[in-house]
Amino acid sequence: MNVFARPTPEARGLGMTSQRARDRLIDRLKADGIADRRVLDVLRRLPRHLFVEEALASRAYEDTALPIGQAQTISQPWVVARMTEALIEHKVPAKVLEIGTGSGYQAAVLAALCGNVYTVERIEELLRNARRRFRKLGIENLRSRHDDGKLGWPEHAPFDAIILTAAGEAVDPILFDQLAPDGVLIAPVGPPGTQQLLRYRQADNGWAAQSLGAVSFVPLLGGLG
């Protein structure tokens, strides 16, 4: 699944979007505790500058969230890395559902590591831009849908893993219904200012949550935008 093996000149970048800039980002992520070599290798190769507006491309390899329009952001690279390594820590899932495509960056990271990725986005303009990026990068093991992410994608359930890229007060039970019994769900949960990144796995008495630390995400909204 070597989807970034032959980057175009545009994907390789120049100056602040060059491979050297990406390498500096990886060094920062390592220093801040990201240890999974598989995740670091993907982030080193994936051209994040293609997932932001051209005016912000020079900031693409800073470890910070950036606006992508529609009051949404592309997540901080450390957060993407932490969520991804938590998702694949116990096993690499064959089928992943992402709620909230956004720029498409997290979905592209997952597609480089997992078997098949399904991603749902409620804002049509964001999804249209993300699909264009997926085509440019030649990602073939990814399907996308314009829909209310709170509903998941039941036609393709069960999923080995589900990841949410926006925060709700709690995880809707409908998503757990679409998760395989031995699956894992990663989600930011809680109101603004007190959100925690949680990893849910099956326990004797149901789905048990493990906190992976404090985070800050845009709110998870229903309906279509």
CA–CA dist 20, 40 (Å, integer): 14
Give the position of tokens 């080193």.
44
3-state SS string for 100-112: CCCCCHHHHHHHH
User: Which helix (H) or strand (E) covers residue 98, if one does?
Assistant: strand 95-99
Cβ-based burial of 147 (10 A; exposed 0-12, middle 13-18, buried ≥19): middle
Which residues belong to the active site?
A: 75
User: DSSP letter at 33?
Assistant: T
- Contact present, 210 and 107 (Cβ < 8 Å): no
Give the position of tokens 């149901």.
206
* CA diameter of the chain: 53
- φ/ψ region of 13 (left if φ > 0, alpha if ψ in -120 to 50, else beta) reads left
